[in-house]
Amino acid sequence: AAGVIQSPRHLIKEKRETATLKCYPIPRHDTVYWYQQGPGQDPQFLISFYEKMQSDKGSIPDRFSAQQFSDYHSELNMSSLELGDSALYFCASSPGTGGLITEAFFGQGTRLTVV
């Protein structure tokens, strides 16, 4: 079965550079979530989109932005990178289904290292 696809899997950037992470949700999933997970930490929610509109916002820094496109894929844009941005970035998707409970399916993550 198709899963959530994230690219790239690994990324190395220097301080103050920019990075773009991509997420392709499971087909027919219209909701995308972005999480940041530092070493030994729990996943921290950054931002989510439903039907191409931002639906929930967590601890996303102002240096980061994200959007969901017409094909439902999403991109997380990160600027002025800092050493502390080094982490695993997970994307998850779920069908929107209004208020019904659905689990979120996670991609394999992008490991960002800022040097």
Q: Which residues bind another protein (CB under 8 A)?
A: 30-31, 33, 35, 41-45, 48-51, 55-56, 58, 88, 90, 92, 96-99, 101, 103-109, 111
Measured from the CB atom, the residue of 78 and 109 that comes closer to another protein is 109
| C-alpha to C-alpha distance for 74 and 91, rounded to whole angstroms | 9
Measured from the CB atom, the residue of 16 and 69 that comes closer to another protein is 69
Measured from the CB atom, the residue of 14 and 42 that comes closer to another protein is 42
Residue reference for tokens 């980061």:
64
Is residue 6 a contact partner of residue 22, using CB atoms and an 8 Å limit? yes
Q: How far is the CB of 25 from another protein (least distance, A)?
A: 12
- Other CB atoms within 10 A of residue 17 CB: 13
Provide the H-helix boundaries in 5-113: none
Q: How far is the CB of 52 from another protein (least distance, A)?
A: 11
